Amino acid sequence: MGKDDKAGGSQATHWDGTYGGDPAFFGEEPSEFGKLAADRFRKEGVRNVLELGCGQGRDTFLFARDGFAVTALDYSREGLRILEAKAAGMSPSSRVAARFVDVRKPLPFPDGTFDACYSHMLLCMELATDEIAACLREVRRVLRPGGIAIYSVRTTGDRHYRAGRPMGEDMYEIGGFAVHFFSEEKVRALAVGYDLVDLRRMEEGSLPRELFGVTLRKTESAAGKEAGEPASRRDSGAAEDPPARGSRFT
């Protein structure tokens, strides 16, 4: 499914219509996951952040207000239009650079460009597992040595798992949106070339959605790790922040 440009195009069109109908579809306030990521970025001495799937920018502007230079990517032109209009009223607006990018394709940046990458529920959209793996390889490439990637995805423990129209690979179309649900094993298997610093379950919103919050650190070398080899439990056993179970995000 995810390899079909028409599938991605139909979802982009769906998001364009959704964002066009509500310029604050996810609200104006930043997500709690974004706030946690910003705290982590400050502790890490991050200066610039690559955001995948920025939407209308609710977390983008949190990072910019905290002093990070943000390169915000999305494949919804309507979402980017709204974000850019909001960014124009910021001071300084130069902290936000919005770009139309489909993450199923190579990221248009040189190696080692960014200190950190952030993505809130982008990887659990209409992406096949091999496309997610390719995206994370690209993220690793554009991160500096020791850079961090923080992302969230829906879990197979979510109440909407197996609801809606099956699309293969634990993906379902729910209310017109494609959702890819992740098991813990899938998260670990996708952590190739990274140290798995933190893996935690959390809840967000009034449904609520059940999410994995994942923090990865780019390793100096991926030598000895085969593609698809799961990160060991020892990786997260030495986590800098212990996993939290049952965290509630709103």
The pLDDT value given to residue 21: 54
Question: Is the pLDDT confidence value at 218 over 90?
Answer: yes
How far apart (Å, rounded) are the C-alpha atoms in residues 207 and 172?
17
Residues facing residue 117 across a β-bridge = 50, 149
Alpha helices in the chain (DSSP H): 5-21, 32-44, 58-65, 77-87, 129-142, 184-189, 233-237
What pTM value is reported for the model? 0.81
Domain that holds residue 218: 5-238
The pLDDT value given to residue 232: 40
- Residues 79-130 have pLDDT tens digits of 888 888 888 877 766 789 999 999 999 999 999 999 999 999 999 988 999 9
- DSSP per residue, 115-183: EEEEEESSTTSS--HHHHHHHHHHHHHHEEEEEEEEEEEEBTTSTTTT-SEEEETTEEEETTEEEE-B-
Q: Is residue 16 included in any domain, yes or no? A: yes
The pLDDT value given to residue 224: 36
Q: Is residue 246 included in any domain, yes or no? A: no
Q: Is residue 39 included in any domain, yes or no? A: yes
Check residues 241 and 170 and name the one with the higher pLDDT: 170
The pLDDT value given to residue 241: 39
Q: Is residue 62 included in any domain, yes or no? A: yes
Q: Is residue 224 included in any domain, yes or no? A: yes
The pLDDT value given to residue 156: 97
Give the chain's domain count. Answer: 1
Q: Is residue 243 included in any domain, yes or no? A: no
CATH of the domain at 97: 3.40.50.150
Q: Is residue 250 included in any domain, yes or no? A: no
Question: Is the pLDDT confidence value at 78 over 90?
Answer: no
Q: Is residue 249 included in any domain, yes or no? A: no
